[in-house]
Structure 1
Amino acid sequence: MKESLKLINSFLYSFVVAFSSLHYIFLLPLIIVLFMERESFFQIIKKLVLLNTFILVLVFFVYFQNSSEAFSLLIRTNLILLFNITLFYKSKGYDIVRGLDSLSFPPKIVSVFYFTLSLITFLTKDFKETKNTLKARGFVSNTSIFTYQTYGNIFGMIFIKELKKSEDMKLSMKARGFKDRIFFINSNKIILFEKVLSCTIIVVLLKVGYELFN
């Protein structure tokens, strides 16, 4: 329930900000989530700044065609990004998969997300271990042929390992009688801030809807 509520809030806020006129009321949900994650504020801003390096390139090209649209794009994108980064800052990928399951997404889609995330986790872990091994052996990255060969061997080795792990996972699930559905233990506890956030987003929706039809 908790994870599904986050996904719903994320979708509603992103949809409203993206497709309606900019309004100061959009800051209210943002202030709430930032207050919830106030201890990680600077880390969140750091992530936002990093993502803005890509957004600014797009805004730069739009600016020469329509400066007001470029400004609107920059504001909307940052509102949506900051809200979602903050909302899911402490969430792990499996929380999102659990949320999809709570929202009654087809079991096959949930399973695909789950296994994809599992393999990405394995891939990340193997890459970090290999990187630490190279560092321990005194490997220094440069523009030599040896460096390119080393990276080529590493990526090839990791790719083969992941293929083997995916096959092992397939055989393991098959042996356990897997029938396209993964069962999750969902948390039904919703904290006060989450209730306030949901109510605030509903108020934003009502405000936008009222202005749209009046």
Structure 2
Amino acid sequence: MQKPEQENIGSIYSEDEALVLGPWQRIRQRTLTPIVFVLSRLGISPDMLSFASVGFGIGFCLFAPFQFTVAFWLLIASIICDGLDGVEARLRGTITNRGAFTDMFCDEVVVAFSVAGMAWKGLIHPVLAILFVFVYTAIVTFLLVHRLLHVTSHLIVRPSRMILYFAIALYFFFSINLLNYLLLTYLLALPLLSLSFWRLRKAL
């Protein structure tokens, strides 16, 4: 059930996620390197980008019920910052466990506030919002433990936050609300959470 530690790819991916997201990460690295080079020269660190992402994410939550246009572009700014922090860390050669943990935590906060903002606006049922944030956070946390204990994470795939953000964009541009259906689908990840728990429990 146990296997050697995965290659460090700058994020906490499961084995199956790494197969898809690893190549995409390399493409993103090549594409965004000129931008993060300028940011690095300006003294903007990867951690600063991570925390800025959180600030914009909280702003989305606060503005979503009242000024959704402002809120949406704050969310876009948050996503951009999140996409740049890891690229800059790899460019600088400063990828550390501390940085990966910071990035993971900031991603979790933005997801939680994004869902909270849409629930506050009345577009997501509050119970679904709570259950989704629990499942998403638990799976990501368990993936971190898988990595630390060198326990296989095969078949453990977290719900995609980028699809969540796409669904928010779909509502913004076309007033099509699929968020409740999406979160209901994401709750199908509960058996994966149970599988992860069982594997980790056996390894302890």
Q: Taking structure 1 as the reference length, what is the TM-score of the superposition?
A: 0.27
Select the structure of larger CA radius of gyration.
1
Q: TM-score, normalised by structure 2?
A: 0.28
Q: Which has the higher contact order (CA 8 A, sep 6+)?
A: 1
